[in-house]
Chain A
Amino acid sequence: MNRNRYLADYVTLLIVAVVLALVPLGVGGSAYYLRIATLMLIYMAYAVAFNIIFGHTRQLFLCIGALAGSSAYLSVVLVTKGSLPPWATIPLGIVFAALLGGVFSYVSVRRGLGVIFVGIVTLVFSLIFHNLILGLRELTNGETGIETRGLGAAALESGRGSYYVILAVLMACLVVYHLLMRSRAGMAFRAIADDEIAAELAGIDVTSYKVLAASVGSALVGAVGAVYAYYSGFINPTVYALVSVDIVVLITLLLGGMGTLLGPVLGGVLFAVLDELVRPLGRLNVLVYGVLMIVLVITFRHGLVAALRKIAKVRIP
């Protein structure tokens, strides 16, 4: 039974990898669509990480953009001011993001904060991050931003090569997710999501598993954020703002389905298509995001994967 489920997971991961790897061939030589596809991968990876934090342990982190930005800025500033190679600074950024996420989680579990206060604390952290970046002008250039160069051997210069690098990052996130879920921790996460008090009574150390989920999720967010910084060639506070990251990630996860392996991927595809459809509306797209979010929260809370499971009556990981 268990072996079958893992097999289904592996098959799914393989299919996802192959299908996404074929996308650059599908879009032909269009640099525009290749960029859209790469951004789609980035948001999928964020959503996988957010899924671990929010989907499985119900910690509403409204600071995904700020965590990604903390990691990216740490890495980029060390490269530009300390003349270190990016390879050395990206891990530092990841560790920094993991520490931040872990601390938020630990403090909020210890203080017994409900979902709403975790939301407020992390939202406030997002605002603090935004203002710090604007305020520390001599390090971060404020609103103007910093230009970043690719990762040495032209791996992250725009184009097909960087698509595959970011695809590798996304697949790494999915594999980490899979490994986490099949381990003891995955069982604990499911118990916590069902009923926290019951989980605690059954002898599960809720605090450490929640902190674990938050740290691993934040580390993935940090990794994606830093890689994105070198891919896009330029970072400023708007790149990591609440509107640019958190809302998109939230919609992606809600569309796809929380607490599922395939949810973030399907949600990412759907969101990319929707985003393309509303692009002609120009500045109205923020309105569309808002409407989409309200409608999803009210009517489609379990997401596409759950809907497909119901309709097709098949097991989808």
Chain B
Amino acid sequence: MIAILVDGIVQGLQLSLMAVGITLIYGLGGVLNLAHGQFAVVGGITTALFIGEGMNPLAACALGVVSAGVLGLAVDRTVLVPAYRSAGEERLLLGLLITLGLSFVVNGYLDYKYPNIALTIRLATPSFNVVGITIRTASAVVALIAIVAFVLLFAFLKGTLLGKVIRSVIQNEVGAGLCGIDPGRIRTLIVTLSAMMAGLGGVAQGLFSSLGTEMGNELTSFALIVAVVGGVRSINGTLAAGVLLGIVNAFASYFVGAYLTLIILLGTAVFTILLRPAGLFAYRT
């Protein structure tokens, strides 16, 4: 039972790692990124390719994360520019359709070029014991990666001047612009950062079980559910929702099977949108 709980928490952390990117890009850029899972897949598959070349796994992972970031940077500076030029509903709609198209581009390319490549990272010691509970080393490593990433992210957002600038743009883009902040550059930074975190999530997926080229849409929908349940503008909410849904996912898969679990998760997302659109953990205003 505790093993399931641990499994759920770890999976939840990994989900949050990707969902936080959706939250940040939506909060800051006003674009709902439907290609987020594809960033994760690009990161993971790049890692797999470098490992296949015989590179040191750690360096390969780093390169994979960087490549996801480079893709994010390129996307932000090219196809998303027309979306940023418009405002309000128009921007939301454009961003949604452009990233949906982008997800097909990435899916189509990977499926064509690398149909049989998957990322599976095996660690030297498969599991270890802590006070009588067997824990997979991979789970521990994934949890560690996610926690370190989140601590760094929070420290960055709360502790540095740049983090303060980012939070100000999230609160009020026009106001931040009047204070001499260039929202465009901040946006680019955040999209790149989010893409890198998605890449990290992809690598974590490879560590946890396996990451194939076709998993982009699945990862996007999971991350989207977490982001929606946590409130698409709240980073703390995303983290909490990720862990909560991870636990629900693990227990439900164990008791009622995978199909029903996914439907439960999707239903949670729908009801959150309908009942508390600002997210489960948002303060009432």
Q: Chain B: residues with CB nearer than 8 A to chain A? A: 32, 79, 82, 89, 92-94, 96-98, 100-109, 111-112, 115, 221, 224-225, 228, 259-260, 262-263, 266-267, 269-270, 273-274, 277
Contact = CB atoms under 8 A, between A and B. Distances in A.
A125 B221 CA distance: 12
A113 B277 contact: yes
11 contacts: A114-B89, A120-B273, A121-B274, A123-B224, A124-B269, A128-B267, A290-B103, A293-B98, A293-B101, A294-B98, A298-B94
Given A113-B277, A294-B98, A298-B98, A60 B93 contact: yes
Contacts of A250: 97
Interface in A273-295: 282-294
Interface stretch (A84-92, A129-137, A156-164, A200-208): A129-137
Contacts of A243: 104
A115 B89 contact: yes
A286 B262 contact: no
Nearest to A292: B101
A116 B103 CA distance: 17
Contacts of B221: 123-124, 127
A166 B157 CA distance: 58
Contact of B98 (A131, A287, A297): A297
Contacts of B267: 128
A284 B224 CA distance: 26
A293 B100 contact: yes
A120 B271 CA distance: 12
A121 B263 contact: no
Contact of A289 (B93, B108, B112): B108
Given A121-B274, A135-B263, 19 more contacts: A114-B92, A115-B96, A117-B273, A119-B32, A120-B269, A123-B224, A124-B266, A131-B263, A243-B104, A247-B104, A287-B108, A289-B108, A290-B103, A292-B101, A293-B98, A294-B101, A294-B102, A297-B94, A298-B94
Contacts, number: 110
Nearest to A242: B217
A298 B79 contact: yes
Contact of A132 (B92, B108, B263): B263
A93 to B, nearest CB: 21
A107 B271 CA distance: 11
B92 A127 contact: no
Given A60-B96, A114-B89, A287-B108, A135 B277 contact: no
A6 B212 CA distance: 54
B96 A134 contact: no
A111 interface: yes
A116 B273 contact: no
B277 A117 contact: yes
Contacts of B263: 128, 131-132, 135
B274 to A, nearest CB: 6
Nearest to B26: A116
A292 B108 CA distance: 13
B104 A293 contact: yes
A253 to B, nearest CB: 11
B234 to A, nearest CB: 16
A288 B103 CA distance: 12
Given A135-B260, A294-B79, A283 B108 contact: yes
B230 to A, nearest CB: 13
Contact of A287 (B97, B112, B274): B112
